[in-house]
Chain A
């Protein structure tokens, strides 16, 4: 077991270093650089001297290998440097935008779990009934609906409904306030994005819950429990659901990791100033330090949630760690 855990943890490092190398190279393959964006943005002409000075100031005139070494050394010390675009520390820039993205992601997860587990379970218990058909259609539609379109349509509905009720259309506010300062205002910003993302997320988890439940319900120990004369509710809650939830939790964990990186489109629709937005901006501005830091953040979350899932599996299922 210890051997497996150590091996599995050590495997995290090559992945992180590989991702670091990938984003480093990709950013530098993109033609142009931040100095051209900065100096040329006004459409004015500039001297090659000014360009060279700019390159030297932010250190991108040095050989790639040295720049990459700096980047890795910074990562090892959790020092992400200074944004090439704003001149402020990268950590500070991310810290102001991370809460809203995290809140949307967490709320979407809560919505997804609240919908997926009860509906998935009912669907499995009443297999091939009309409830099952409705739930399955609902979840397949969830996988098919582009979240940004759902966002546009939900804004449309909110506008129309508020217009009909109060006479003038209402739009959710844009400027973010933390939940503990003004809960109502905060929820009015976060609710719609969370619901639109949560629907897709619920669809994925619902399918997983249903198929895991169907599998577990055919196990011998469920038959044994039935034969013992246990109450149906206890069989389902304690014996079936508890065992069926493991793959569901895995899916939720992995999807959550992708959510942080996948917020880009939703933030665009709802005009939220989160890290998805920041990511697109920093690539377009060719802000190397910022893009690198954001990619490493997303990759680290993904890699760590995979690690947790794998270790959890190994802990629960001895066949995995002995294989």
Chain B
């Protein structure tokens, strides 16, 4: 039922309007009320994100400086999470590690996601030969083992954060393109696209104004999931020695070498960085699930 109600400013507003018409702040508030579990996810992610941004101020020690008088020390008031085999403070390294994780995770997810969006929508909209060939290329990249791709990228261009991002981004592109293409294919069949074409609009306008906004829901959900996957991939690559290199603090790197060697005498070296990875990705996944419930009306009733 629609009613007209007066507002303090005197302009009438339609009550029971579409949810998307409400101001952004109200929608965010609504999300927090409706999705308590997803909100926990956001809180976790924001905490780790802030830890990464303000690592310089928050860290009690320099993450790369060694203290050979305090090697493999158990958690104490001086070192909340203990120290590693080189006497570096684990808490400081985890805080700075959050920066590396989010840098790699967000950049890979955004670049991979946008490239996938462009390829997916173009593939669905233009169809025909272009679609056929793009799909074959995506097939190849998708079936190719990530580890070989990463090894090759690292061997060709060297290690370093940018190259790790490149190695992780490439396999994300086809996964996003697949999802976007299948929703875009369904949208292309809806008459308003034909109507837009009949109005004489160009391809760019139809794609940007009529197709892209309608594939935003699955796109946002998959990009959120990508952030978590990219953080996990970076950790695995760094653990294998193919990702971020010393002395840059990174969670996967912290689990390499020392973690296994000192597993019995100093288990905190192995436990805390892993917990940091798990909690962050857990938070992202909780948020992603809630986002999907909100954006997908079919899931909303559940």
Query: Do A and B share a complex?
Result: yes
Given contacts A261-B146, A283-B148, A295-B148, contact A146 B139 (CB under 8 A): no
In the complex, residue of chain B having the shortest beta-carbon distance to the beta carbon of A303: B143
* B139 contacts A15, C-beta separation under 8 Å: yes
* A261 contacts B145, C-beta separation under 8 Å: yes
A144 CB contacts on chain B under 8 angstroms: 228, 232, 277-282, 284-285
B270 CB contacts on chain A under 8 angstroms: 149, 152-153, 156
Least Cβ–Cβ distance between B153 and chain A, in angstroms: 9
* B145 contacts A152, C-beta separation under 8 Å: no
List which B133-172 residues lie within 8 A (CB) of chain A: 136-137, 139-140, 142-149, 151-152, 155-156
Write the B230-249 contact mask toward A (1 if CB under 8 angstroms, else 0). Answer: 00100110011000000000
* B278 contacts A23, C-beta separation under 8 Å: no
Say yes or no for A246: interface residue by CB 8 A criterion.
no
Q: In this complex, which of B148, B264, B267 has the most chain A Cβ atoms within 10 angstroms of its Cβ?
A: B148
Stretch in A26-34, A63-71, A95-103, A220-228 with 4+ CB within 8 Å of B:
A26-34
Say yes or no for A159: interface residue by CB 8 A criterion.
yes
B145 CB contacts on chain A under 8 angstroms: 261-262, 279, 295, 298-299
Q: Please, how many angstroms separate the alpha-carbon atoms of A303 and B273 in the complex?
A: 36
Least Cβ–Cβ distance between A293 and chain B, in angstroms: 12
Given contacts A153-B270, A295-B148, contact A146 B156 (CB under 8 A): no
The SS class assigned to the A binding surface is: helix
Contacts between chains A and B (CB distance < 8 A), count: 138
Number of B residues, CB within 8 Å of A: 44
List which B268-288 residues lie within 8 A (CB) of chain A: 270-271, 273-274, 277-282, 284-286
Contact for B137 among A18, A257, A298, A302, CB less than 8 A? A18
B146 CB contacts on chain A under 8 angstroms: 261-262
* B155 contacts A148, C-beta separation under 8 Å: no
Say yes or no for B300: interface residue by CB 8 A criterion.
no
Say yes or no for B46: interface residue by CB 8 A criterion.
no
Contact for B263 among A29, A155, A268, A276, CB less than 8 A? A155
* B152 contacts A146, C-beta separation under 8 Å: no
**Size bracket, chain A contacts:** 35 or more
Q: Please, how many angstroms separate the alpha-carbon atoms of A153 and B264 in the complex?
A: 10
List which A1-38 residues lie within 8 A (CB) of chain B: 11, 14-15, 18-19, 22-23, 26-27, 29-31
Contact for B155 among A31, A155, A261, CB less than 8 A? A31
Say yes or no for A106: interface residue by CB 8 A criterion.
no
* A140 contacts B282, C-beta separation under 8 Å: yes
Say yes or no for B67: interface residue by CB 8 A criterion.
no
Contacts A149-B235, A265-B239 aside, 14 further interface pairs with beta carbons under 8 A come to A11-B139, A22-B140, A26-B148, A26-B156, A31-B155, A141-B282, A143-B281, A144-B228, A146-B232, A148-B236, A152-B274, A279-B147, A280-B240, A299-B144
Task: List residues of chain B with CB under 8 Å of any chain A CB.
Answer: 136-137, 139-140, 142-149, 151-152, 155-156, 228, 232, 235-236, 239-240, 252, 255, 259-260, 263-264, 267, 270-271, 273-274, 277-282, 284-286, 289, 302
